[in-house]
Structure formats: C-alpha cells, structure tokens
Amino acid sequence: MPSYEDLKARVIDAGECTVCGACVVACPTFHIKFIDGKPERPKRTMDCVGCSICYEACYMLRHDLMKAIETSTIGWGRKESIGLHRSVVAARAMDADITRACQDGGIVSALLLYALDSGAIDGALVVGGEGWAPVACIAEHRDEIVRSAGTKYGVVPVLKELRAAVVDRGLSRICVVGSPCHIQSTRYLKYKGLPLASSVKLTVGLFCRENYDYACLAEKTRVRGVDIGRADKLDVSDEFDIYVDGQKLCLPLTDVKGCVPRHCLVCRDFAAELADIAVGSGGSPEGWSTVIVRTEDGEKVFSGMVEEARIETRDIEDISEVKEIASRKKEKGKQTREIFRLKEAGLDQEEIAARLGITKERVSHRLEGI
Ligand SMILES: Cc1cc2nc3c(=O)[nH]c(=O)nc-3n(C[C@H](O)[C@H](O)[C@H](O)COP(=O)(O)OP(=O)(O)OC[C@H]3O[C@@H](n4cnc5c(N)ncnc54)[C@H](O)[C@@H]3O)c2cc1C
Ligand code: SF4
Ligand code: SF4
Ligand code: SF4
C-alpha cells in the first residue's frame, strides 16, 4: 500500500507539489505539516499509521482522472483553450468597500458577499495576507471577505483550512477561491469522496499564468531598494508591477523568473478550467474582470448578483487574447515537462534542444525557475 514516503518521492521531492494543502487536511492523524513551504511529516513518525490517505488525496498523482472529473462537473463539448463554459462577460463590483480593496473588478469578493447574503454559502476558503505574504484563511463575514481582496503573489495551501472550516467552525456550504491548481485539487477530493470535501459547494478559480515564491520576490524587490511589505498593490502583466508610495516600480518578468516554482513551469491550466466560475483581468479593461461561467451553480450565483445590481456587466468584444494566453500556457507547460524529462534522463541542454528542434536558449529559458 503506498504511503507518505511514496507521496514524498513521487510528488514533493520530484518538484511536482503545487502546495494545495490536500494531503495535510486529509491525514487522519494530523501528521503532515508545512515545513519550509512543503508538506512534510516530521521525523518522529510513530503517529503515522501508514494508511495511504495522504497519497490518495494528491491530485498530482491522478491526472488520468481529470477528464472524467471535468465531464462529471462541467460537462462535455468542443473544448477551447479556456475550457468548457456557458458564458464569458466583463464585470465589475458596485460595492465601494470592495472596489477600494480589490485587484481588478472585485468580482471575486462581490460574489462571495452575495453568496453569503443569499445563503448559497456559509463561508469561504480565501487568501489573506501578512503584508503581501499570502496566508490561507477562512472568511465567514463581510469584513473578512473585504480584507482578503487583492492578489497576493506566492504559493499558499488554500485547502489546509478545510478541516478547521468544517470541524471547528461547523461550515457546511463552503466556497473555495484559488488558483487553477487549488480548484483541480478541490474537484479531485470531491470526486474521490473525501468526507470533508462534501462541504465544498462552490469553486471560484483565478486566471493564472504563473506564481512565485514570496520570499524570493521580497528579495528581488529588496535589492531594487523597495520593501514589498509596504506596497499598496502588486500586479503582473507584461511586467511585475509594484505600487508603493504613489509610485509604480516595474520589474521585467525576466527579473522574477527565477522565483517561479517548478510546478508552475509545467502547469497547463490558465483559466481554472474546473471552476464553477473563473475570474481574471485578461481580456477586460482596467478595473473590470473577465468572468467565465462554467456550471449551473456558477450561473445561479452570477445571475443573482446581476439581478440584485451588485455588479455591472458588459460584453467582451474580443476574447482571443485570453484564448491565446491559455493556449500558449498549455504548449509551454507541455514542452517544459518534456525538457525536464530529458534533463532527468541525463541529456545536456544542447542535446535537449536538438531532440526537440528548438534553440538551446529556449531550453535554458524554460528551465529558469526555482
Ligand atoms: C498567483 C496568481 C497569478 C495570477 N495571474 C493572472 C494572469 O496571468 N492573468 C489574469 O488575468 N489574472 C491573473 N490572476 C488573477 C487576478 O490577479 C485577480 O485575482 C482576478 O482578476 C480577480 O480579481 P478580483 O478583483 O475579482 O478579485 P478580488 O475581489 O480582489 O479578490 C481576490 C481573491 O483572490 C484570492 N487570492 C489572493 N491571492 C491568492 C493566491 N496567491 N492564491 C489563491 N487565491 C488568492 C483572495 O482569496 C480573494 O478572494 C492571478 C492571480 C493569482 C493569485
Ligand atoms: S497517517 Fe496516513 S495520511 Fe497521515 S502521513 Fe501517515 S500514511 Fe499519510
Ligand atoms: S496533495 Fe497537494 S500539497 Fe500534498 S503533495 Fe499533493 S500537491 Fe502537494
Ligand atoms: S501556474 Fe499552475 S501550479 Fe502555479 S499557481 Fe498557477 S495554477 Fe497553480
């Protein structure tokens, strides 16, 4: 029977772990802890009963099930790079507290508030921050949701809080907000029938090109003379933007490339293809969000927000830019995985380049990261 050692060898030490938090929450003896940002079982192992639940809880070991999970949750049809969906629209929140604090159109926070007020959910797993360092949190009230608004760049185990949400707080209608990897993991736990996951009733995914190690980002900005903790906002577009003291510092993406974890280099999901609703800035004007509604549950919540005039919507004239980013991420992730495979098989960069018919510079560029 596979155990924690197998999870460690195949996922954690192999650089495949996306730090979703599922194994930590699934372990019945509470024996896995995040140590230096990785799910580790402390050296004293007698509490580990070798049950294999942590291994079974890791979606990174079951890519073969993702198609079936998509069919059973989202549906089926001709798939585009942004995933199966019912509608795509631009939207922005009307609530002034949200528009002050949010990243783009404030749709994620507005949706959580509406879902709470309407009783669709009784709480949410969100990402708050200590400064800009991301922290997994539970939000049950308006002020907690407003406080969690804004994008914190950094890897964060969102699902780690699921047990506390269900067992300690007694929540039974939870929304998980997270990156596409968090949403894949959530859907997988539900599909596998992890009892805690049955309390998740809604998933909101964020578009995601890549993520960064927060400590690495803080160091990159420190050498540029900026304390990232004092920033008013961080944003990634064609560059890494730090808004501080009314000024905008733009770092070229090549400066922060070395902060991208390995699991992000091979990731292929940009548009949170398994979420009930996916939200991002790409494709919409500044201050608006692009919203992709994928499921009936997502549609119900989104149309409820529109009916109560909590948000303003408008058509998106051209979604091709988002489709292009999503499709580039798929190609890049696939190619990078192949590069890693060949590297681990002992080929040098020149041999890999020749084998794949690409330049050596591209091979080296693809391997940049932590
Ligand atoms: C790592 C990362 C990379 C992204 N890359 C892109 C991109 O390339 N293109 C694009 O269009 N959009 C990207 N986004 C999404 C974008 O930054 C906004 O989160 C999205 O547009 C929602 O904005 P909003 O104003 O509706 O959200 P808000 O109302 O401001 O709410 C933001 C929500 O994000 C959650 N959150 C914050 N930080 C994290 C985190 N690290 N992990 C998981 N959840 C978090 C909070 O819980 C909060 O509920 C990225 C987001 C993240 C976290
Ligand atoms: S008790 Fe079970 S779930 Fe926890 S670490 Fe050991 S094998 Fe994994
Ligand atoms: S379940 Fe999540 S946190 Fe645990 S090893 Fe797998 S990817 Fe990492
Ligand atoms: S790039 Fe992929 S693995 Fe990395 S944070 Fe985004 S969704 Fe998760």
Q: How far is the CA of 307 from the centre of ligand 4 (A)?
A: 33
**Whether residue 227 is found in the same domain as residue 240:** yes
Query: What is the span of the domain harbouring residue 100?
Result: 65-319
Model confidence, pTM: 0.97
| pLDDT for res 76 | 86
**Whether residue 272 is found in the same domain as residue 343:** no
| pLDDT for res 370 | 73
**Whether residue 96 is found in the same domain as residue 232:** yes
How far apart (Å, rounded) are the C-alpha atoms in residues 67 and 59? 13
Q: 42 near 48, Cβ under 8 Å? A: no
Q: How far is the CA of 205 from the centre of ligand 4 (A)?
A: 11
**Whether residue 79 is found in the same domain as residue 43:** no
Least Cα distance to 263 among 352, 150, 184 occurs for 184
Regions of the chain with pLDDT less than 50:
none
Residue 95 CA: distances (Å) to CA of 123, 145, 206 = 19, 12, 20
- Does residue 226 have its Cβ closer than 6 Å to ligand 3? no
| pLDDT for res 300 | 98
Number of domains in the chain: 3
**Whether residue 20 is found in the same domain as residue 121:** no
The last residue of a domain, from among 283, 300, 319: 319
| pLDDT for res 44 | 63
| pLDDT for res 46 | 66
SS3 content of the chain, % helix, strand, coil (to 5): 45, 20, 40
Q: How many residues does the chain have?
A: 370
The last residue of a domain, from among 61, 93, 109: 61
Residue 118 CA: distances (Å) to CA of 113, 115, 121, 170 = 9, 5, 8, 18
Residues touching ligand 1 (Cβ under 6 Å) are: 102-109, 126-127, 134, 148-154, 156, 158, 177-179, 206-209, 211, 236, 279-282, 289
Tokens 């047990």 belong to: 163
**Whether residue 136 is found in the same domain as residue 22:** no
**Whether residue 166 is found in the same domain as residue 283:** yes
Give the closest residue (by CA) to ligand 3 atom 2.
Answer: 20
CATH number of 34's domain: 3.30.70.20
**Whether residue 172 is found in the same domain as residue 128:** yes
How far apart (Å, rounded) are the C-alpha atoms in residues 195 and 22? 12
Which amino acid appears at position 88 of this protein? V
**Whether residue 18 is found in the same domain as residue 115:** no
At 185 the three-state DSSP class reads helix
**Whether residue 146 is found in the same domain as residue 118:** yes
**Whether residue 43 is found in the same domain as residue 122:** no
**Whether residue 136 is found in the same domain as residue 207:** yes
Q: How far is the CA of 21 from the centre of ligand 3 (A)?
A: 6
